[in-house]
Structure 1
Amino acid sequence: MRVTKYEHAALRIDESGDTLIVDPGSFTTPLDDLTGVVAVVITHEHPDHWTPEHLDRILRDAPGIPVFAPAGVSAAAADHEITIVSPGETVTAGNFTMRFFGGAHAVIHESLPTIENVGVLINDELYYPGDSYAVPEDVAVSTLAAPLGAPWLKIGEAMDFVLAVKPRRAFGVHDMTLSVIGKDMHRARLQWATEQEGGEFFVLEPGESLDL
């Protein structure tokens, strides 16, 4: 299985000719080579994790594929058919099995409403929490896509999240709100946290891939 990071929160996962797209949002440039896409996962409704334009482009190349997302996305994406998923559910599409965890977006501020968010574990290998610190219970996470920067993120809490998950590998995502210096600082902190349990941290720039 191969994971490719794109700008901000978007991931492409390839396995045996099938492709899964996760969180193609407003900070992500248009994706190409979409002929093998079998499903899309959207962790929550915020536009930096999905846009109608991205979905329309993907569905033109892969019509009829399922789009898995929590109920808040279904309400926001009224012009698209969304398959609603909740924490504790498992779904399949092509060569992918997806298990969902969490349930709530991390708190930005008490003045803002809390929305739904799901973390997704793909093929029992790659875990991406969306905008949360949801730790998958009773799961040994091999590879973690760990958030680097966000209005809701404090780097110490992100480090604690990585320490709790204890992945064998990790790389940073959710990073377009950071400067180059900020990315490097936060990557160094998450690298330290990953290495505390013997894991390895990888730096992926947009378009770069990691074989799992």
Structure 2
Amino acid sequence: MRVTKFEHAALRIDEGSDTLIIDPGSFTAPLDDLRKVVAVVITHEHPDHWTPEHLDRILLAAPGTPVFAPAGVAAAADGYEITVVAPGDTVTAGSFTLRFFGGEHAVIHSSLPVVENVGVLVNDELYYPGDSYTVPDGVEVSTLAAPVGAPWLKIGEAMDFVLAVAPRRAFGVHDMTLSVIGKNMHRGRLQWSTEQGGGEFFTLEPGDSLDL
């Protein structure tokens, strides 16, 4: 299995001849080579994690592709067929088994509503929490896509999240809100946290891939 990071929170996972896309949002450049997409996962309804333009592009290249997302996305994505998932659900699509965790987006501020959010574990190998610090109970995470920067993120809390998950491998995502200096500083903190559990941290720029 290979994971490729794109801008911000978007991930492409390839397994055999199948492709999974996660969170193609407004900070992500248009994706290409989409004919082999067998599923899309959207962790929550905020536009930096999905846009109609990205969905249209995917569905034009791979008609009928299922889109898995919480109920809030189904309500926001009017006109799209969304398969609603919730924490505790497991679904399959092509070569992928997807297990969902969490339930709520991390708090940004008391004045803003807390929306639904699901973390996703792909093939019991790669875990991406969306916009949350949800640790998947009872799961030994081999590879963690760890948020680096966000309005809801405090780097100390992100470090504690990585320490709690203790992955064998980790790389940073959710990073387009940071300057180059801030991004590198936060990556260094998450690298330290990964190494405390004996894991290895990888620095991936948009378009970089990691074989799992």
Distance in 1 of aligned mates of 2:207 and 2:197 = 28
The letter for the 2-side match of 1:27 is: F
Q: Which runs of structure 2 are paired with 1:100-179 in the superposition (5 Å)?
A: 100-179=100-179
Per the TM alignment, residue 78 of structure 1 is displaced from its structure 2 partner at its CA by 1.0
Identity of aligned pairs, percent? 83
4+ residue runs over 3 A deviation: none
Distance in 1 of aligned mates of 2:159 and 2:65 = 36
The number of equivalent residue pairs is 212
| Structure 2 residues not aligned, in runs of 5+ | none
Q: Which runs of structure 2 are paired with 1:53-92 in the superposition (5 Å)?
A: 53-92=53-92
SS at match of 1:188: helix
Distance in 1 of aligned mates of 2:65 and 2:45 = 19
SS at match of 1:99: strand
Please tell me whether residue 51 in structure 1 is matched to residue 51 in structure 2. Answer: yes
The letter for the 2-side match of 1:115 is: V
Distance in 2 of aligned mates of 1:79 and 1:185 = 41
Q: 1:27 corresponds to which residue?
A: 27
Q: Which runs of structure 2 are paired with 1:174-189 in the superposition (5 Å)?
A: 174-189=174-189
Distance in 2 of aligned mates of 1:35 and 1:116 = 30
Distance in 2 of aligned mates of 1:140 and 1:129 = 14
Per the TM alignment, residue 196 of structure 1 is displaced from its structure 2 partner at its CA by 0.2
Per the TM alignment, residue 9 of structure 1 is displaced from its structure 2 partner at its CA by 0.2
Q: 1:97 corresponds to which residue?
A: 97
Distance in 2 of aligned mates of 1:105 and 1:182 = 23
> Scaled by the length of structure 1, what TM-score is found?
1.00
Calculate the aligned-residue CA RMSD, in Å.
Answer: 0.3
The letter for the 2-side match of 1:198 is: G
Deviation per residue, 1:89-130 (Å, 9 max, x gap): 000000000000000000000010110000000000000000
Distance in 1 of aligned mates of 2:197 and 2:174 = 23
SS at match of 2:43: coil
Per the TM alignment, residue 153 of structure 1 is displaced from its structure 2 partner at its CA by 0.1
| Structure 1 residues not aligned, in runs of 5+ | none
SS at match of 2:182: helix
> Scaled by the length of structure 2, what TM-score is found?
1.00
